[in-house]
Amino acid sequence: MSNKYIDFDTLKFMLYDVHGLEKMLDKKRFEDYNKETVDMFLESIKDFSDRELFPVFKEMDEKPAYYKDGKIHVHDKVKTLMHQGGEMGIISASFDYKDGGMQMPLIAHTAAIFIMEAANNHLPGYAGLTQGAAELIIHFANEELNKKYVPNMLSGKWGGTMCLTEPQAGSSLSDIITKANRTDEGYFNISGQKIFISAGDNHFTENVVHLLLARIEGAPAGTKGISLFVVPKKRPNNNGSLEYNDVSTLGDFQKMGQKGYCTSHLGFGDNDDCRGWLVGEENKGLYYMFLMMNAARIAVGRGASAIATAAYNASLNYANERPQGRKLSSDGKKNPDEKPSLIIEHPDVRRMLLFQKSMSEGSLSLVLLAAKYYDLENTAESDNEKHKYKTLLEMIIPVVKTYPSEAGNISVSNGIQVLGGYGYCSDFILQQYYRDIRIASIYEGTTGIQSQDLLGRKITMDNGRGLELLTAEILKCISKANNYNNLIEYSEKLNEKIGLAQKVLKTLMPLAIKGDYERFLADASIFMEFFSLIIVSWTWLKIGIKSNEELEKNNYTKSFLKGKLEAMKYFFSYELPKTNGLAEIMMNMSDITIKKEEDYIN
Amino acid sequence: MSNKYIDFDTLKFMLYDVHGLEKMLDKKRFEDYNKETVDMFLESIKDFSDRELFPVFKEMDEKPAYYKDGKIHVHDKVKTLMHQGGEMGIISASFDYKDGGMQMPLIAHTAAIFIMEAANNHLPGYAGLTQGAAELIIHFANEELNKKYVPNMLSGKWGGTMCLTEPQAGSSLSDIITKANRTDEGYFNISGQKIFISAGDNHFTENVVHLLLARIEGAPAGTKGISLFVVPKKRPNNNGSLEYNDVSTLGDFQKMGQKGYCTSHLGFGDNDDCRGWLVGEENKGLYYMFLMMNAARIAVGRGASAIATAAYNASLNYANERPQGRKLSSDGKKNPDEKPSLIIEHPDVRRMLLFQKSMSEGSLSLVLLAAKYYDLENTAESDNEKHKYKTLLEMIIPVVKTYPSEAGNISVSNGIQVLGGYGYCSDFILQQYYRDIRIASIYEGTTGIQSQDLLGRKITMDNGRGLELLTAEILKCISKANNYNNLIEYSEKLNEKIGLAQKVLKTLMPLAIKGDYERFLADASIFMEFFSLIIVSWTWLKIGIKSNEELEKNNYTKSFLKGKLEAMKYFFSYELPKTNGLAEIMMNMSDITIKKEEDYIN
């Protein structure tokens, strides 16, 4: 079995060439970094992943995390990840110096976690949720909470989680009923249950800090009455000791994949002694959480891209080694005396590999673009610029979360198919990737929810100003691509599809205008698929431009760069055309999925 | 969790109304049967499945078949299936009386196995392969072999398998090297290894009869030098006792799904004492096997349809019980004081359920159509008629195998998505269906192979006469649908797509004519997807016609029939339009998947 789970050159090409990381490093915020120091960081992460994460990837699947005696027992490498990884900066890399971070660009931090996730997607989530929880405290909680919790979280000594989902509410956060009762002591008494809590507990971490949504007594119904609390498993006393805070682990969820990444069922306040500290203002919990959700959604897209990347490398390796079958000669027959071909020579296998390559590299580029927008927003020198990148980020986030997840399922499935029967066997790793990646389109907001966000909020926000901004970026790329003869065919195709998107929206928008939101959003998931294909084609056109530019230099092999151009052509020839069928579906304006008085699904 | 894995009314509607089984029962061959006796048979199978198969479905996944001490240990219910099921006729139902069968129409036999597969897809394969092996002996072997093996196989006392694949050859049967050395004793000495042998061994069956492909010394290279042999694990002596025939079980393959359906690695003749008896003539093995492969391919389509059906019923049940979220009102907001909706009321959930319903019922109808064509061929009263139905069967077989398998993966994935996080959890059954169904597009000829068969052989066979025949059937259906106002929109769409198919073929065929088979077949898998959507739309139009007819009678509830019409509309509105994008891909005539001198996938 191949040990190659990512192509490091591709990652660097995306970072430095496609997304111009060096230019970013020129900014004052990142003045302590240059290409060498960032590369050193990434290489140390790659070494760490090779040494500690990848070797236990299969084992973590075969010996899942489990619940026993009130605790979740996880693989020992979780400790290694949190402690050694924490020291290396996997939690704090992009945080401000003043908060104990390394003040590295998020795009570099993202690349680092991408490497780890490709090596072993069961592990980085423990650090990622800790990072997210710390970020919430840093941004919205008071000084005291910051001092008490953040340092131990950034070092990986304590874990962190996001506690949103409840048994009765599922994705519907407005139905949250976990209670927070006011006391005179500066804290609230918390009582309730949370489910599907990733990294919710483990048998060795000294403490787990939960960022929890709850409803303060008397708060308004729905999402407007939800507040955010810090609820540690053990509360730090003033003398530095830890006291049990009545947070109990009630069980776990055994899953089809990501079995080493535990999913817990937590109880708060079973003995009326669970304290929570309010983060920021009352009833603004969902607003705070949603700022964090952006990062979480990029993280899911990043993880799915990483799994699809690792799966691609595994099937590419197999296809390059396995001889089977022969080419058809011009009489449509095969000559049995001929040596068998490698399976990579069969067009159908090549098609599947090119899909895997274009899907996974396109996704990686998209994920890095989101991180870059974040960095640009964060380092903007004017409000205008800040707003621009914030808007661009908002626009692409649902796609960044969804495309790698949904297309990733298909991509890894193609990876299985490349191996044939072996792909389905436990001795080969493809089947694990297939099971692991399936969660991505569910957690942190399902594809249905992302699609409603895209069409219902993002496309329409600011009277369509976000869409205009994004379109302008795409048109800029198209006009640049027109300078290269070998790209004009593709830039024209992309341009045409922008026209098609406008046509689709022209058909759909009147529904929103007349207030028929249900029908307006009924095909949101189809729109997501349609829009994603256009966005990913744009990222490929950009990769195409950079590949052309680099062909005139000597930084990469010709083979490497031509491989990128091939993948671009594949995407435009085999993926982008699917927008045609999808547009037809939407413009049908069928009301078949709307529940009517007389209604039959049986 | 719901115990409903199929809708019996739907199955009967497909059998009697859509496919006119009663008319088939009028034929002389089936004179001993009428609707009542067939129903009794199906109901006994349903009872058996409820009682014996469904209850151990999850357990068989959790405790997979395993290899130990030279044997494969399978679940005890394999015995129940083979012995009790064998007595009920699950192996022999459609065989001739003269061969010990029940001479029932294959369409009824198919429906019976469909029920069992929906209940527990890990079990029926043991009987199915025994049936296939017996069929080969009956059709092609001499009287002596028939007498020796068939009765014990039809009763389920002995198992049977198909031994094709070898470690070095995979799907490329021309590279088979298992040897058959001639002796003067009427048998051949067999030596070699076979892998991926489903139901290849178990710890209790008295004997397993392998139908094995091997090469007789001096035979021509490639597929023209392959012969078929009966190679029992134990050879029956003339006194009726069994003697070990040097067939050893070398190991098994642990898989992502269908874990109770064992997959074995077999060795033949390790001690030079493995005897095989030639079936039919030398070097015709592949020809014989291919006749059987048709049945095996229908079986895979049937199994995939059954899994998708069971998954649909499980997610439909969940969607009807689980409240979550609310409808958007005309201001685009949700009212938190309103009672949560059932998730089946959300358009996105309805879309997924309608896909599951239309995919699984459309597939069932298609599988039954294949069985019906077989029955019509088998009972034809003229050569012309026989040839017609044989041709129609040949035409649809690759689609019957592939559509349920490929669309089934997506359908069950939608089923998971309906349940959200729970769908990914081991406590819910959807994730098992997702893992189980993934094998269907691999075994008995991968999707790539089916697609080459469809475009490379079936579409072009007899100078396109097969396609003409099939098109005539579709046009007949269209013209009948035109009698119903509520169907005209759909029959027109289908008609239009037939035109599109002709346009696509007009673009592709010149490649075949000029001998460029590699490019002609490069997009065969895309063509398969395209063609399948048209074929399944045709089956839905037929279902639409019958639903209209039945609406005027009282055999089914209105709700049941309108449900069928809704699913038909869904398929035409959301699935058939995808042909547009697929047609564009094919008509691009890209050569990107063809390996060229300068070639880059990296």
- Tens digits of residue pLDDT in A202-216: 888 899 999 999 999
pLDDT confidence of residue B261? 97
Is residue A208 within 8 A of residue A222, CB to CB? The reply is no
In chain B, residues with a C-beta closer than 8 Å to the C-beta of A175 are: 324, 336, 340
Q: Tens digit of pLDDT for each residue in A199-250?
A: 999 888 899 999 999 999 999 998 899 999 999 999 999 888 999 999 999 9
Q: Among partner residues A346, A354, A594, which is closest to B347 by beta-carbon distance?
A: A594
Residues of chain A contacting residue B425, judged by C-beta atoms under 8 Å apart: 253-256, 263
Q: A213 to each of A50, A174, A450, how far by Cα in Å?
A: 37, 11, 20
Mean pLDDT (whole number) for A516-540:
97
* Helix B524-551 with A347-378: angle, nearest 10 deg: 90
Per-residue pLDDT of A65-104, as tens digits, reads: 999 999 999 999 999 999 999 999 999 999 999 999 999 9
**Is residue A339 within 8 angstroms of chain B, CB to CB?**
no
Active-site entry in B117, B361, B444, B575: B444
- pLDDT greater at residue B533 or residue B330: B533
Taking the CA atoms of residue B181, residue B182, residue B188 and residue B191 in that order, the dihedral angle to the nearest 10 degrees is: 0
Mean of the pLDDT values across residues B79-90? 96
Residues 155-194 of B with CB under 8 A from A: 165, 169-172, 174-175
Distance from CA of B28 to the nearest CA of A (A): 37
Number of inter-chain CB pairs under 8 A, A vs B: 304
Distance from CA of A178 to the nearest CA of B (A): 16
CB contact at 8 A, A353 and A343: no
Task: Tell me if the domain spanning B159-283 has CATH number 2.40.110.20.
Answer: yes
Chain B closest-CA separation from residue A562 CA (Å): 6
CA distance B601 to chain A (A): 5
What pLDDT is attached to residue A179?
Answer: 97
Average pLDDT estimate for A251-259: 97
CA distance B381 to B383: 7
Residues of B (261-290) whose Cβ lies below 8 Å from A: 263
Among A525, A531, A523, A542, smallest CA distance to A575 is for: A531
In chain B the first and final C-alpha atoms are separated, in Å, by: 46
Is the ipTM here above 0.90? Answer: yes
What pLDDT does B2 receive? 62
Contact A114, A11 (CB under 8 A): yes
Both tokens of B139, joined, read 């059709």
Give pLDDT tens digits for A130-144.
999 999 999 999 999
Whether the per-residue pLDDT at B173 is higher than 90: the answer is no
Residue A336 pLDDT: 76
Q: Which of A168, A160, A211, A35 is nearest to A107 (CA)?
A: A35
A68 at interface of B, judged by CB pairs closer than 8 A: no
**Residue A440 neighbours by CB under 8 Å, 6+ apart:** A300, A301, A303, A304, A307, A404, A405, A408, A409
What pLDDT shows up at residue A2?
Answer: 61
> Would you call A593 an interface residue with chain B, using a CB distance cutoff of 8 Å?
yes
> Can you say how many angstroms the Cα of residue B55 is from the centroid of all Cα atoms in its chain?
23
Determine the average pLDDT of the residues in B533-543.
98
Distance CA(A346)–CA(A358), nearest Å, equals 18
pLDDT average, residue stretch B346-362:
97
Closest CA in chain A for residue B428: A255
In this structure, the number of other CB atoms found within 10 A of the CB of residue A115 comes to 24
- For residue A1, pLDDT over 70 is answered with no
Residue type, A594: I
> Could you tell me which residues come within 8 angstroms of residue B529 by beta carbon, excluding any fewer than 6 positions away?
B406, B578, B582
Closest by CA to B270, choosing from B353, B216, B352, B194, is B194
Start-to-end Cα distance in chain A:
46
Average confidence (pLDDT) over B123-139: 96
CATH 1.10.540.10 is held by the domain B8-154: yes
Question: Collapsing DSSP states into helix, strand and coil, what is residue B248?
Answer: strand
Q: Which of A255, A424, A588 to mutate to test the interface with B (most CBs of B within 10 A)?
A: A424
To which residue do tokens 């707003």 refer? A387
* Domain locations in chain B as residue ranges: 8-154, 159-283, 447-592
DSSP state of A234: E
Residue type, A445: G
State whether residue A7 sits within 8 Å of chain B by CB. yes
Phi and psi torsions of B226, nearest 5°:
-110, 130
Residues 6+ apart with CB under 8 A from B69: none
**CB pair distance less than 8 Å for A334 and B171:** no
Taking a C-beta distance cutoff of 8 angstroms, is the pair A83, A105 a contact?
A: no
| Contact criterion met (CB below 8 Å) for B347 and A594 | yes
The closest CB to that of B353, out of A439, A559, A601, belongs to A601
CA max distance for chain A: 88
Give the mean pLDDT of A45-59.
98
B592 inside 8 A of chain A by CB? yes
Query: Is B444 one of the catalytic residues?
Result: yes
Which residues 406-465 of B have a C-beta within 8 angstroms of A? 409, 413, 416-417, 420-421, 423-427, 431, 434-435, 438-439, 441-443, 446-448, 451-452, 456
Q: Which CATH class is domain A159-282?
A: mainly beta
Q: How many CB atoms lie within 10 A of CB B83?
A: 15
pLDDT of residue B291: 79
DSSP letters, A400-450, are HHHHHHHHHHHHHHHHHHHHGGGGGBTTSSHHHHHHHHGGGGTTTS-HHHH
Note whether A442 contacts B427, CB cutoff 8 Å: no
Is the distance from CB of A527 to CB of A457 less than 8 angstroms?
no
Residue type, B463: N
What's the whole-number mean pLDDT along residues B339-346? 88
Distance CA A418, CA B401 (A): 18
How far out from the chain centre does Cα A175 lie?
A: 26
Q: What is the per-residue pLDDT for A131?
A: 96
Three-state SS for B45-105 is HHHHHHHHHHHHHHHHHHCCCEEECCEEECCCHHHHHHHHHHHHCCCCCCCCHHHCCCCCC
Q: Which CATH superfamily is domain A8-66+73-154 in?
A: Acyl-CoA dehydrogenase/oxidase, N-terminal domain (1.10.540.10)
Nearest to A348 among B165, B357, B524 (CB): B524
d(CA B190, CA B296): 25
**Helices within A57-160 (DSSP H only):** 57-62, 77-80, 86-88, 106-119, 124-140, 143-154
Question: Which has more confidence, A325 or A434?
Answer: A434
Judged by CB atoms within 8 Å, which residues 128-157 of A form the interface with B?
none
Query: By the 8 A CB rule, do B582 and B525 touch?
Result: no
How confident is the model over A323-338, as a mean pLDDT?
75
Residue of A117, A114, A109 whose CA lies nearest to A93:
A109
B350 in A contact zone (CB under 8 Å): yes
